[in-house]
Amino acid sequence: MTRLLLLADVHANLPALDAVLASLDERVDLVLSAGDQVGLGPWPEEVLDRLDALGATCVLGNHDAECISGRSIVQNPQGIALTWTREVLPPERRSALASLPERQDGEGWTLVHGSLRGPLWEFLLDRPTAGACFDLFEGRLGVHGHTHLQGGFILKDGAISPMEPRKEPIPLLPGARYLVNPGSVGAPRDGDPRAGYAVVDLERGWLRFGRVPYAVEEAVRALRRAGLPPALGERLREGR
Ligand code: ZN
């Protein structure tokens, strides 16, 4: 289990997930999904089926939690999509989502949605937050999502530095530890509508960030067919 495909914030966007899977030219041993598997997009059940078929290790995201909690949700486009998701998911799917843990630990890695300190809601965007999070897991790699932005932090010799998402493989430095956000598969927010992901090889010691185009208009049409707010489609087109 040394080569990992890192996914986050798929948000029920099936063509985006499938584009990522089709673009991989390397074998991966394990798929990690850092939460918000559903919410926003029009294919919640299909995305959960696909992640199941991949044997993906998933954690609970705030959208997953909200769409199963049963409490009433603000009626903005996101809230409308959450209510719709709750209504279309079969009961067994909702209970499977509800049983997802907020954190999973594996060989050399730990997986959460927001941050190690606040797994559901905290945005991990700055060095102080990264510093607090490095103290809360043991392995070489912490994986998270929630911000919908690719990047990460490196801890080496007691110093934390940010890691920019480059297309070329980034060597993992001996003795260094990493926090990695693979970016959002299904709802990027950095102005680039392409699906984001990352691949890391813990044995050979490299990490690569990826972006891949997908059929955004297919997602826009499916949102319209589902009667979901057009604003959600506009955000996909703009990557915002
Ligand atoms: Zn999200």
158 Cα to the center of ligand 1, angstroms: 30
Give per-residue pLDDT as tens, 8-23: 999 999 999 999 999 9
Q: Is 98 helix (H, G, I), strand (E, B) or coil?
A: helix
Distance 207 CA to ligand 1 centre (A): 22
CA of 228 to the centre of ligand 1 (A): 17
Task: Compute the distance from residue 138 Cα to the ligand 1 centre, in Å.
Answer: 25
Average pLDDT, stretch 115-135? 97
Number of residues assigned to the chain:
240
Alpha-carbon distances, residue 184 vs 10, 90, 91, 149, 188 (angstroms): 6, 25, 26, 7, 5
Sheet-wide strand order for 3-7: 57-58, 30-33, 3-7, 195-201, 206-212, 170-171
Question: Which residue shows structure tokens 């890192």?
Answer: 6
Using alpha carbons, select from 53, 72, 67 the residue that is nearest to residue 98.
Answer: 67
Per-residue pLDDT of 141-195, as tens digits, reads 999 999 999 999 999 999 999 999 988 999 999 999 999 999 999 999 999 999 9
Cα–Cα distance between 111 and 119 in angstroms, integer? 9
pLDDT above 70: residue 1:
no
Would you say 152 and 163 are in contact if contact means Cβ atoms under 8 Å apart?
yes
What are the C-alpha distances in Å from 30 to residues 51, 201, 221?
11, 11, 32
11: nearest Cα among 213, 184, 214: 184
% of the chain beyond a pLDDT of 90: 92
Q: What is the chain's Cα-based Rg?
A: 17
Give the domains, in start order, of the chain with CATH numbers: 3-238 (3.60.21.10)
What separation in Å is there between the alpha carbon of 76 and the centre of ligand 1?
Answer: 15
pTM of the model: 0.96
Query: To the nearest whole percent, how much of the chain has pLDDT over 70?
Result: 98
Between strands 170-171 and 206-212, the pairing is antiparallel
Q: What is the mean pLDDT of residues 83-98?
A: 93
C-alpha pair distances (Å), 111 with each of 6, 56, 92, 182, 205: 10, 12, 24, 12, 18
Average pLDDT over residues 192-202: 97
Residue with tokens 């996909």: 236
Taking the centre of ligand 1 as the mean of its atom positions, its distance from the CA of residue 14, in whole angstroms, is 15
**Quick check: 82 and 72 in contact, CB under 8 A?**
no
Binned at pLDDT 50, 70 and 90, residue 72 comes out as low
